[in-house]
Amino acid sequence: MKSKYILPASFLLVFVACSKDFTDLSPISQRNAGTFYKTATDMQVAVNSIYNILKSDGCYDQSYWVMQELRSDNTFWDGTGLAEEISVFDKFIDIATSNITEASWNAAYSGIARANIVLGRIDAIEMDAGLKEQFKGEALFLRSLYYYHLAVSFGNIPLVLSETNSVTEGADHMQVSAETVYAQLVTDLTDAESKLPASHSGSDLGRATSGAAGTLLGKVYLTLGDRSNAESALRRVMSSGSYQLVENYSDLWGVENEHNVESIFEVEFEGGFGDQGNSFTSQFNGDLSTAVTSGQRNIPERDLIDAYEAGDLRFAASIDSVTETNTGWPIKYGRTNAFSEDDAPNNWVVFRYADVLLMLAEAVGEGDEGYDLINQIRARAGLPTVDASTPRSYAEKLLQERRVELAFENHRWADLKRFGVAESVMSAQGKSINGKIYFAIPQRELDLNSNLSQNAGY
């Protein structure tokens, strides 16, 4: 059963954001806030509303794949006219007034604001103690996920950890370093991991688990360069017994395979409800994209095609319709036809167990265990083992394996930055990053908050 967090319109009204041109840190009207948040059911609706933003254009439906895949050496798009707003990210000529980055910033801070409301008000509500702890854990995990994307994308950002009660109160927050944000995420995700259950079932399938919190915690530690603590967090996910590799890579994808034994956290989409389906299915799918304005997007680079070794079983499960003149299209999220344009049911897989194994290989470093973890992934792909005698450095072999295993899953740009090779990799592909390690902080934010400074390159 797929849990979609579809909120009735009457409940959504409580969470309608004030229509402002700067970071939305006060997403509810004061009139509605006084009459809501009274019962456990109210809190469940409030928690569900945090999840709901993950499905927005500013998150997994568009901005994240533009900012993490299209930005990298994995994919490209040569759109023109109105569609050029997306293709500029591939060319590193994006600007501070981009709707893509503004949508990402605003969506994340809206999700954070909703999480802050839950965390600030839930203790006053009489409800089952175990469920209260779970809701806190979910809010902490989701707030951390939004902050992770903000820190990876924008670097120095405002860190807001409590409910903001007025528009003016949210207009002058100070920036803090990305490292300060990550340090807060360590605290929050450790807390979330202790509060969340190992699994869910029935209508709760798809909610955050301790494994999801532990996986993101491991990723944050690696981003901080703390391999020891990353190893501990990732080993907890492994030892939970909740996850294992799916036997066949092709069985990871498609609506029928959602929430499989390898899946750790997914963003829940549901077609046919008008506003709960995804648009990326039609945009990625070369067979469907003729119905999409400006055609197919997120097109695999020839460089990515060439990165797959001969006999790699992941290739046919990841990319379709490759010819000598056409690099095809990603099929991980595009096998199922949409009910209509921009309304498909495919979930977005945020974290899965293969990522955990490869992050643990990164944490433990070169050695027998590190190669064994990499080779578990390669064995499923039908490839021979690698070891210290295999050409290239350990880091290069690991980054290569992450690239082909996790292609199109919104990991590549963050990986290139974490491994310290973003500039060299993009230069080898003939692209200059122009100093743009981070994206531009939206111009509207700068105009309305004099405490914010723009990132280099803009």
Does residue 1 lie in a domain region? no
Provide the residue type at 253 as one letter. W
Beta carbons within 10 angstroms of residue 203's beta carbon:
11
Which of 370, 352, 349, 368 lies closest to 360 in space, CA to CA?
370
pTM above 0.85, yes or no: yes
Which pLDDT does position 294 carry in this prediction? 52
Tally of domains within the chain: 1
CA-to-CA distance for 285 and 267, rounded, in angstroms? 19
Does residue 457 lie in a domain region? no
Does residue 250 lie in a domain region? yes
Beta bridge partners, 300, equal 75
Q: Which long-range contacts (CB under 8 A, 24 or more apart) does 38-46 make?
A: 38/125, 39/125, 39/127, 40/125, 40/127, 40/128, 40/131, 40/132, 42/125, 43/118, 43/122, 43/125, 43/127, 43/132, 43/135, 44/135, 45/7, 45/11, 45/14, 46/15, 46/114, 46/117, 46/118
Tokens of 351: 């974290």
Beta carbons within 10 angstroms of residue 339's beta carbon:
15
Give the range of the structural domain holding residue 240, as residue numbers without chain letter. 9-448
DSSP conformation letters of 400-434: HHHHHHSTTSS-HHHHHHHTT-HHHHHHHTT---T
**CATH code of the domain covering residue 351:** 1.25.40.390
Which pLDDT does position 350 carry in this prediction? 98
SS3 322: strand
Which of 5, 15, 202, 38 lies closest to 127 in space, CA to CA?
38
Does residue 70 lie in a domain region? yes
CA-to-CA distance for 327 and 305, rounded, in angstroms? 7
Does residue 456 lie in a domain region? no
First vs last Cα of the chain: how many Å apart? 46
H or E element that contains 47: helix 40-52
For the CA atoms of 25, 179, 59, 86, the dihedral, rounded to the nearest 10 degrees, stands at: 110
Do residues 281 and 330 make contact, with C-beta atoms less than 8 angstroms apart? no
Do residues 264 and 352 make contact, with C-beta atoms less than 8 angstroms apart? yes
Which pLDDT does position 32 carry in this prediction? 59
Which pLDDT does position 9 carry in this prediction? 33
Tokens of 457: 């390159």
Does residue 375 lie in a domain region? yes
For the CA atoms of 228, 64, 244, 212, the dihedral, rounded to the nearest 10 degrees, stands at: 60
CA-to-CA distance for 170 and 428, rounded, in angstroms? 42
Give the pLDDT of the chain (458 residues) as one tens digit per residue. Answer: 355 554 433 333 344 333 333 333 434 434 355 678 999 999 999 999 999 999 999 999 999 999 999 999 999 987 777 678 899 999 999 999 999 999 999 999 999 999 999 999 999 999 999 999 999 999 999 999 999 999 999 999 999 999 987 544 556 799 999 999 999 999 999 999 999 999 999 999 999 999 999 999 999 999 999 999 999 999 999 999 999 999 999 999 999 999 999 999 999 999 888 778 998 988 888 776 554 445 688 999 999 999 999 999 999 999 999 999 989 999 998 666 666 778 899 999 999 999 999 999 999 999 999 999 999 999 999 999 999 999 999 999 999 999 999 999 999 999 999 999 999 999 999 999 999 999 999 999 999 999 999 999 99
Residues 6 or more apart whose CB falls under 8 angstroms from that of 173 comprise: 23, 25, 158, 159, 160, 449, 451
Which pLDDT does position 335 carry in this prediction? 62
Does residue 392 lie in a domain region? yes
Does residue 453 lie in a domain region? no
